[in-house]
Chains A and B, each alone.
Chain A
Amino acid sequence: MTERAWLLLLEGAWVTLWVSGVSIAMGLVIGLVIALVRSARIPVIDQILAVYVSLARATPLVTLVLFLFLAAPTLGLSLDRYTVAIIALTLNTAAFNAEIWRTAFLNFSPEQKEAALACGMTPAVMFGNILLPQMITTSLPGLVNEMTVLIKSSPAIAIIGLVDLTRVTNRISAVTYEPLPPILAAGLLYMIIISVLLKLQSLTEKQASRLAM
């Protein structure tokens, strides 16, 4: 493993991190919006969102990435690889996040809602000051877990030729003819990224159980 190989690996890790990071951020917000819209139980829209969540949770990421990449041009959209990868990861993670947010929303105690409304808060103020902070605390461990799952499935973007942390090992071994060291090094980098997230998850779990008292 030369210095140049390590630099390539770090570049791959950077692609993995920023593509996943953007998707995680968008997925969190879109998931919350889906959960809130579904809680309003608007006919038709509720069913459409339920089908979307079910389909997106059942579709493997590799299939979704490939589908978007190949089908977008036939619909007249020209998207570059990064955009396709981010859209696919976001569609996937938003569906899982929507379910996590929705559980937190459904488990929220109605007494607090009634108390807030009785104190004269408007629904918007109640949501921002009472509901959302508690929803974030209770669903954070689940959301961080979903982030870990997303990072672990992010190598799916390699199928459309993006050079992420997994794919970059092919590039390095094409030059050195020694595939084992770069793959092990990539595995090590993934382990570092994911153990940071696992640590974060146990921290948020402690925080959530402390605030739930």
Chain B
Amino acid sequence: MIEWTILWEARDTILSGLWLTIWLFSLSVIGAFVLGCIVLYGLELGGALAWLLRAFVNAMRALPFLVLAYLLYYGLPQLGLRMNAITAGLVAMTVYHGAYLAEILRGSRMVLPPGTIEAAQAHGLMPRTIFTHIILPQLLLRTRPLIGNQLIYAIKDTSFLAIITVQELTAAANAVQASYFIPMPAFVVVILLYWAINVCIELAVSKAGIFGAKRGFENV
């Protein structure tokens, strides 16, 4: 029982870790989303740029997240580009999950029926307008379960940043257990917190599912 009292007194460390995890997750997911859409648009244009982007996405898919974080945090200073751990983590999260989101959207783009796009072209819409108003909204509604999965991978990947010394939730649990030697309660609480975040993401995805079903996307 005394262990839980100690943990309650050390709650500030855990909460600041939780805050940093949520902050890293939210910022990088927004960044990854923007990056994913830009990469998709680049793939749409075709040519050498599309080839380069395909190579980038494939490289990210074959690389563990931590290796990318290592590359940015430990590797780049050799080239004179020094970032602090949080920036490096944020950039790594954005780039890595941006590539995965682009791949998810690309997969759905390949099987998107061409009817709506042809109709938009016949109405004289510009290619950029077609992309933002016709293609992108349909892809996002179609891929929402996959995007939800990717968000869960993203929240789990934030914990890798503990290895490059970011003081997020897992590092906070480690700090608390190291100061007071209460590994059991500290980690049980942190695991439950991760679980709660996951449940929230799953709820948000099913809410998005209801929204999508209203728009006639229930079968995809």
Contact = CB atoms under 8 A, between A and B. Distances in A.
Interface of A: 54-55, 57-64, 66-67, 70-71, 74, 151-156, 158-159, 166, 169-170, 173, 178-180, 183-184, 186-187, 190-191, 194-195, 198
B173 interface: yes
Contacts of A70: 174, 177, 183, 187
Interface string B160-176: 10110000011001100
B33 interface: no
B159 A62 contact: yes
Contacts, number: 121
A183 B197 CA distance: 32
27 contacts: A58-B191, A58-B194, A60-B158, A60-B160, A60-B170, A60-B194, A63-B169, A63-B173, A66-B187, A70-B177, A71-B183, A74-B184, A153-B65, A155-B64, A156-B66, A156-B160, A158-B163, A166-B64, A166-B66, A178-B78, A179-B78, A183-B67, A186-B67, A190-B62, A190-B64, A190-B67, A194-B62
A55 B75 contact: no
A162 to B, nearest CB: 12
A178 to B, nearest CB: 6
B112 interface: no
Contact of A184 (B75, B159, B190): B75
Contact of B183 (A60, A67, A158, A198): A67
Given A59-B195, A152-B65, A180-B79, A71 B184 contact: yes
Contact of A67 (B63, B78, B187, B199): B187
A64 B162 CA distance: 13
Contacts of A158: 66, 163
A55 B67 contact: no
Interface string B57-71: 001011111110011
Contact of A198 (B62, B65, B67, B71): B62
B152 to A, nearest CB: 8
B13 interface: no
- Max count, chain B CB within 10 A of own CB: residue among A63, A158, A180: A63
Contacts of A64: 191
Contact of A153 (B64, B76, B199): B64
Given A63-B190, A166-B64, 15 more contacts: A54-B195, A60-B155, A60-B158, A63-B159, A63-B191, A64-B191, A66-B170, A67-B183, A70-B174, A155-B163, A166-B67, A183-B67, A183-B74, A184-B75, A198-B61
Interface in B14-66: 59, 61-66
A20 to B, nearest CB: 11
A179 B159 CA distance: 22
Contacts of B194: 58-60, 63
Given A60-B170, A60-B194, A156-B160, A180 B64 contact: no
B71 A184 contact: yes
Given A166-B67, A179-B74, A67 B191 contact: yes
B108 interface: no
A155 B66 contact: yes
A187 B74 contact: no
B66 to A, nearest CB: 4
